[in-house]
Amino acid sequence: MTDGTRSTPATLHDVAREAGVSLATASRTLNGSTRKVNEQYRTRVLEAAARLDYSPNLSAQAVARGASTTVALLVADIADPYFSSIAAGVVAEADLERLIVTMAATQRDPERELELVRALRGQRPRVMILASSRRTDEPTDGPLAEELAAYERAGGRVVLISRNEYDLRTVLLDNRAGAAALATALVELGYRRFAVVTAGEGLRTARDRLAGFREGLAAAGIELRDDDVVRGEFTRDGGYEATTALLERGLDGVEAVFAVNDVMAVGALSAIRDAGLEPGVDLAVAGFDDIATVRDVTPPLTTVRVPLEQIGRRALRLALDDADASGREPSAAAPDAVPTEVVVRASTPGPRRR
Amino acid sequence: MTDGTRSTPATLHDVAREAGVSLATASRTLNGSTRKVNEQYRTRVLEAAARLDYSPNLSAQAVARGASTTVALLVADIADPYFSSIAAGVVAEADLERLIVTMAATQRDPERELELVRALRGQRPRVMILASSRRTDEPTDGPLAEELAAYERAGGRVVLISRNEYDLRTVLLDNRAGAAALATALVELGYRRFAVVTAGEGLRTARDRLAGFREGLAAAGIELRDDDVVRGEFTRDGGYEATTALLERGLDGVEAVFAVNDVMAVGALSAIRDAGLEPGVDLAVAGFDDIATVRDVTPPLTTVRVPLEQIGRRALRLALDDADASGREPSAAAPDAVPTEVVVRASTPGPRRR
DNA sequence: CTGTTAGCGCGTTCAG
DNA sequence: CTGAACGCGCTAACAG
């Protein structure tokens, strides 16, 4: 365990002494903004710092400066590719700004989310990004809003991903329009009877995608029957189970199923296969998100592409740019939605000829 | 944007004043270790804190206490399911200890990794977990070791995942044994001619798995020809391309291919299919890791199960428990490897009868 | 340009 | 058990 006497890390004070200069000079050359330090001293400080292996204490800097270099990210589930892709984007962009990202997972529990926001606030992060999927029936809705408002009042920047709520900055994801476009595309392929695999009523994202899909069908004069909407957890297993239930009930003419996200859609594929049917042929499948794995399942999945990583980058940008240009009208005024795109693959080859 | 006058967050000072007590008393009831505060005062402070929506400044606490409540996690790529699963475990376990996790991505660049370790050290994290895949040819090897040693000397705890190096705490993953066991299982299934899809020579994990596989075959009297080892990036696309190259070169009797991780294996499946062959039938495929998606590809993938999330949890535990029981012999003394298990699925049905 | 000094928000002695 | 005072590591005026 790398033994050796336990020494405390070198402080700025140590560096100053070692270099024979004042604390202020050391601070200026090491962390000060505009360089105004004699080259002579400058190099001496730098050398001393290197010799002592000095690393500035970020906490102390934060206290002194009254501002941290941290951004907090809240997701529902880190292992879910939807969130991990967004996280990758946030981290990549934060890196450019030399910001540190702290991450927490709500597990889709509103109470936990509130707790986490409270805890994370203690960090005084510059930005707080909420990508955790919100619910419509949130009992903690009021407290959360209040918490976020307080955080903003204290100079923090909140960015919501996907849902436009609370009058806060938002990276808008037009779930309705995307789902509607998908519906249109499927109808164009020749499908007429649909089922939807979705999550519990509470989840906004799921609800919006279902609504959009329904609208898209309606525009083509097709009605989605309530009986043909099955529900499960917002996970792979949830998709598997809901689809299994659908198959057991009997397809009754349903030609294609839309799973409100790719993770569920992938579960649907397996459920279909495990039921002895051939996905795509016996029942077409479409998803939403275009996560990486959908290219590699069989058949490759038709879906709505969402630039996940870009969304993460954009979320951070939104908060940062807005902070720079404070005084301007808030950029949330015109939150153009992130563009989505229907990607047709082999899981929806068109209805089989009878 | 939630307007209203910008106010600074309430400080402990504010709470004390509001409650009509001293700073010390407020500190004691709010964050103090053992409670020794008059119930009278206690409630007054608590109420004042609630009224002011007080949230302790973690940076200030860290400075005052000389210890943070942070754990730093370094991974190669956040969007990669291997790492995001580990991250999920770390975050889950950290949550139990009310620790905050900060995350950074090295993108498999040793220079970046070193930079990041340096930067992260500024946070004075209690624990630093390196899950980023290490290379064998690291030019930054010395500096990194030195950096980590300095961090440990300052009281930090380093945990390495998968590779036993530098004489540091390690969550050992026996890649060799796992790959050897897989080789044995495949031989038992009847396969005799193998190819391996692996990454560049540099990556430890890839190298160890290849070596283990080779050993496993050797134990059965089968030799893996160098010609039958193809290389690509350590990603899905890398697996796809390497496999494509293998197919173009001509299988020449090869019956099964072992991709050194599941992500590559999934790419291999698609490559085989895109070449007009049937994975499993024309060429068997096996991977390593047992990431979530391999159950849903076709055919489901034979692989070596690695308890990714548990590894994350265990990494943090290792550092924390070790810190508590300092004085005992370091637990790295007996770093039992995480158990792996061969999972045979349909991608290796056994060689076809000729 | 440099050094001195006063904070930043908080934990923790140390006397009362 | 309470409060006053000092210190943590660092930045930012402020004088020189």
pLDDT of residue A36: 75
CB pairs under 8 A between A and B: 200
Confirm whether A318 is domain-assigned. yes
* Pick among A58, A166, A274 to test the B interface (most B CBs inside 10 A): A58
Q: Is strand D in 7 Å reach of the CB of A56? A: yes
Confirm whether A127 is domain-assigned. yes
Confirm whether A285 is domain-assigned. yes
Sort strands B303-305 and B284-286 into parallel, antiparallel or unpaired.
unpaired
**Residue A105: φ, ψ to 5°:** -120, 130
Q: How many CA atoms lie within 13 A of A131 on its CB side?
A: 32
Contacts of A149 in chain B (CB under 8 A): 2, 4
Confirm whether A300 is domain-assigned. yes
What is the rounded distance in angstroms from the CA atom of residue B10 to the CA atom of residue B340?
Answer: 50
What is the rounded distance in angstroms from the CA atom of residue B347 to the CA atom of residue B133?
Answer: 27
Cβ pair B238, B207 in contact under 8 A? no
pLDDT of residue A328: 40
Q: How many CA atoms lie within 13 A of B266 on its CB side?
A: 26
Whether A334 and chain B come into contact, CB under 8 Å, resolves to no
Whether A103 and chain B come into contact, CB under 8 Å, resolves to yes
What is the rounded distance in angstroms from the CA atom of residue A284 to the CA atom of residue A269?
Answer: 9
Q: Are residues B163 and B43 in the same domain?
A: no
Q: Are residues A83 and A193 in the same domain?
A: no
Q: Are residues A195 and A280 in the same domain?
A: yes
Q: Is strand C in 7 Å reach of the CB of A22? A: yes
Angle, in degrees to the nearest 10, between helices B23-30 and B39-52: 80
Q: Are residues A155 and A57 in the same domain?
A: no
Closest CA of chain A from B219, distance in Å = 34
Can you read off the two tokens belonging to residue A244? 């299994």
Confirm whether A29 is domain-assigned. yes
pLDDT of residue A114: 93
- Owning domain of residue A17: 12-64
pLDDT of residue A177: 96
Domain containing A222 — which CATH number? 3.40.50.2300
Closest nt to B23 (CA→C1')?
Answer: D3
Whether A153 and chain B come into contact, CB under 8 Å, resolves to yes
Measuring CA to CA, how many Å separate B268 from each of A117, A265, B88, B91? 42, 22, 27, 32
Q: Are residues A144 and A243 in the same domain?
A: no
Whether A91 and chain B come into contact, CB under 8 Å, resolves to yes
Q: Are residues B110 and B179 in the same domain?
A: no
pLDDT of residue B201: 82
Indicate the residue among A29, A44, A64 that finishes a domain.
Answer: A64
Tens of pLDDT, residues A42-91: 999 999 999 999 999 999 999 999 999 999 999 999 999 999 999 999 99
Task: Show the low-confidence residues of chain B (pLDDT under 70).
Answer: 1-5, 33-35, 133, 136-140, 164-166, 323-335, 353-354
Please indicate whether, in this complex, the C-beta atoms of B101 and A98 are within 8 angstroms of each other. Answer: no
Q: Are residues A180 and A285 in the same domain?
A: yes
Q: Are residues A140 and A206 in the same domain?
A: no
Å separating the CA of residue A24 from the C1' of nucleotide D15: 14
Q: Considering only CA atoms, give the Rg of chain A.
A: 26
Domain containing A19 — which CATH number? 1.10.260.40
Structural domain total, chain A = 3
pLDDT of residue A265: 98
Confirm whether B336 is domain-assigned. no
- Selecting from A60, A119, A298 the residue whose C-beta is nearest the C-beta of B297 gives A298
Q: How many helices (H) and strands (E) would you count in chain A? A: 12, 11
> Which stretches within chain A are classed as H helix?
12-19, 23-30, 39-52, 58-65, 81-96, 110-121, 141-153, 175-189, 204-219, 236-249, 262-274, 308-324
Closest CA of chain B from A349, distance in Å = 17
Confirm whether B338 is domain-assigned. no
Q: Are residues A81 and A116 in the same domain?
A: yes
* Pick among B3, B31, B59 to test the A interface (most A CBs inside 10 A): B59
**Residue A278: φ, ψ to 5°:** -110, 115
Q: Are residues A89 and A19 in the same domain?
A: no
Cα-Cα-Cα-Cα torsion B323, B328, B331, B333, nearest 10 degrees, comes to 140
Confirm whether B259 is domain-assigned. yes
Å separating the CA of residue B130 from the C1' of nucleotide C7: 38
Q: Are residues A161 and A241 in the same domain?
A: no
List, as ranges, residues 40-59 from B with C-beta within 8 Å of A.
53, 55-59
pLDDT of residue A242: 98
pLDDT of residue A187: 98
Q: What is the DSSP string of B119-183?
A: HHHTT--SEEEE-SPPBSS-TTHHHHHHHHHHHHHTT-EEEEEE---TT-EEEEB-HHHHHHHHH
Can you read off the two tokens belonging to residue B315? 């990494």
Q: Is strand C in 7 Å reach of the CB of B64? A: yes
Q: Are residues A152 and A207 in the same domain?
A: no
What is the rounded distance in angstroms from the CA atom of residue A302 to the CA atom of residue B228?
Answer: 35
Closest CA of chain A from B221, distance in Å = 34
List per-block mean pLDDT (blocks of 10 residues) for chain A, which spans 354 residues.
Answer: 69 93 92 76 92 94 95 97 98 97 94 94 96 71 87 92 79 95 98 96 90 98 96 96 97 96 98 97 98 96 97 96 55 70 97 66
Nearest CA in chain B to A157: B1
Whether B238 and chain A come into contact, CB under 8 Å, resolves to no
